[in-house]
């Protein structure tokens, strides 16, 4: 680890860059930063750690004279501060590159990649290592309830990171994860996503293969055996041992949560999490933890105490027998597995699914044809269509009168409250704040 100096982070209030700011501060750096929108909760979290925040991207910030400007993904050409950094030939680096070069160089990095489940699986893995006494550092794109923070740096050699396939910065269009050089990597799944930057699935598979090329021969790749896309990635070339999960030839789990490895029993997973997707996440985390020396039995014990992540089937409240859940699901596959997981919990009770198609991919309408099937297990569907460039009513027409679509949030809340009755579960799905719908809905239900 280099001797700490001063970094100034452009775009500091995003989850990822805010995490970098937090661990840089913990590592002894002076950390300042700026963003277009500096407001709670991220602003208060950062300021509580002694990080100086500035609103906007004014060129006067050059007077801070940091050792390096760390550039977030939200910064583009034309940004006044960035333009002056370029004009003056000042030192700058992307967040992933700076993190890799300074804080991760001497670490055993455990990276968790995949279209779905990165945050949950990273949180599971970090918790298993913590439970085993390994005191890992981590950087996760959510808040694991077992830790109540999303990032930390420790003296431990182990560091768990959510390895995102989104591009790095305006000047580096490789996926973020190619910078992390993990020794242990989980390839959880791989589908088409991020239609704003990837032309097709093959383009994403190429980035995943770039990641595979960085894993050393004494490392381990933990790969989902049920994904043909990941098999194609490995077939392009693989120089690292591979353990698969979701199949009898590798790690597997049955309906009773009995875990096997190569057909041999490893123990039983006793927990309260819902859905097959979380059982697969657990297998991946157990395999990765075993690679750094954590016995499977200890990993299973840890998962029995795992508290999941905020915004992953999180109960926001219960009013008059109606339970309101919040979930981050924002891709048809994630929506499908989330609704299926809740269906497994509530049985025949009604599920009212509330969807905001907010991700870049969803806003472009690339996945709209898959939405009706992803919501098939819900009894009623309420979709907020504000800021969409496509016709959500037409896309959800196959659901018939089961679906209600509106671009008025208050109208949507009123319709949900009018429909809901005791025993129902309201499942709100969005990757954003959704206009504070959870609290507004709970207040409406209480009237």
Q: In this structure, what CATH number is given to the domain that contains residue 219?
A: 3.40.1190.10
Percentage of the chain lying above the pLDDT 70 cut: 96
- Kindly state whether residues 411 and 428 are assigned to the same domain: yes
In a domain, 374, yes or no: yes
In a domain, 260, yes or no: yes
- Kindly state whether residues 88 and 45 are assigned to the same domain: yes
pLDDT digits (tens, 9 = 90+) for 387-427: 777 888 888 999 999 999 999 999 999 999 999 999 999 99
Which has more pLDDT, 434 or 72?
72
- Kindly state whether residues 108 and 186 are assigned to the same domain: yes
pLDDT at 188: 93
Give the structural domain span for 20.
6-95
Number of Cβ within 10 Å of residue 102's Cβ equals: 21
- Kindly state whether residues 292 and 350 are assigned to the same domain: no
CATH number of 35's domain: 3.40.50.720
pLDDT at 308: 74
pLDDT at 360: 65
- Kindly state whether residues 262 and 401 are assigned to the same domain: no
- Kindly state whether residues 38 and 154 are assigned to the same domain: no
Q: Is the pLDDT of residue 310 over 70?
A: no
In a domain, 1, yes or no: no
User: If you average pLDDT over each of 11-15, 294-298, 329-333, which comes out highest?
Assistant: 294-298
- Average per-residue pLDDT for the chain: 90
- Kindly state whether residues 192 and 267 are assigned to the same domain: yes
- Kindly state whether residues 159 and 278 are assigned to the same domain: yes
Q: Is the pLDDT of residue 159 over 50?
A: yes
- Kindly state whether residues 128 and 232 are assigned to the same domain: yes
Domain count across the chain: 3
- Kindly state whether residues 108 and 220 are assigned to the same domain: yes
pTM of structure: 0.76
- Kindly state whether residues 350 and 437 are assigned to the same domain: yes
């Amino acid at each position: 680890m280099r001797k700490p100096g001063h970094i100034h982070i452009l775009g500091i209030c995003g989850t990822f860059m805010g995490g970098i700011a937090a661990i840089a501060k913990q590592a002894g750096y002076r950390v300042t930063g700026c963003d277009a929108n500096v407001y709670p909760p991220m602003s208060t979290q950062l300021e509580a750690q002694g990080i100086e925040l500035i609103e906007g991207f004014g060129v006067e910030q050059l007077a801070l004279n940091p050792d390096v400007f760390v550039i977030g993904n939200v910064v583009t050409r034309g940004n006044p501060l960035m333009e002056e950094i370029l004009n003056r030939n000042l030192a700058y680096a992307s967040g992933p590159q700076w993190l890799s070069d300074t804080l991760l160089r001497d670490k055993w990095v455990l990276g968790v990649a995949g279209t779905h489940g990165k945050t949950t699986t990273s949180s599971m893995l970090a918790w298993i290592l913590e439970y085993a006494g390994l005191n890992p550092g981590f950087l996760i794109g959510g808040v694991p309830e077992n830790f109540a923070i999303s990032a930390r740096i420790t003296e431990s050699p182990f560091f768990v990171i959510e390895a995102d396939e989104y591009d790095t910065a305006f000047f580096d269009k490789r996926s973020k994860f190619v910078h992390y050089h993990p020794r242990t990597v989980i390839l959880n799944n791989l589908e088409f996503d991020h239609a704003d930057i990837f032309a097709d699935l093959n383009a994403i598979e190429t980035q995943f293969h770039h990641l595979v090329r960085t894993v050393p021969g004494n490392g381990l790749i933990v790969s989902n055996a049920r994904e043909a896309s990941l098999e194609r990635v490995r077939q392009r070339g693989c120089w690292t041992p591979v353990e698969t999960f979701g199949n009898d030839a590798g790690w597997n789990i049955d309906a009773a949560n009995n875990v096997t490895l190569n057909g041999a029993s490893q123990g039983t997973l006793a927990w309260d999490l819902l859905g097959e997707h979380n059982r697969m996440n657990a297998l991946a985390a157990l395999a990765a933890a075993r690679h750094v020396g954590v016995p499977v039995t200890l990993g299973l014990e840890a998962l029995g105490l795992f508290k999941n992540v905020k915004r992953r089937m999180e109960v926001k409240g219960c009013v008059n027998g109606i339970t309101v859940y919040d979930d981050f699901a924002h891709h048809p596959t994630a929506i499908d597995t989330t609704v299926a997981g809740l269906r497994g919990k509530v049985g025949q009770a009604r599920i009212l699914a509330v969807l905001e198609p907010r991700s870049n991919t969803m806003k472009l309408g690339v996945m709209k044809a898959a939405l009706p099937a992803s919501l098939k297990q819900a009894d009623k569907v309420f979709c907020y269509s504000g800021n969409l460039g496509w016709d959500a009513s037409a896309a959800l027409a196959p659901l018939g009168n089961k679906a209600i679509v509106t671009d008025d949030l208050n109208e949507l809340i009123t319709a949900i409250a009018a429909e809901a009755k005791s025993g129902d579960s309201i499942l709100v799905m969005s990757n954003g704040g959704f206009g504070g719908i959870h609290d507004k809905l709970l207040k409406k239900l209480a009237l």
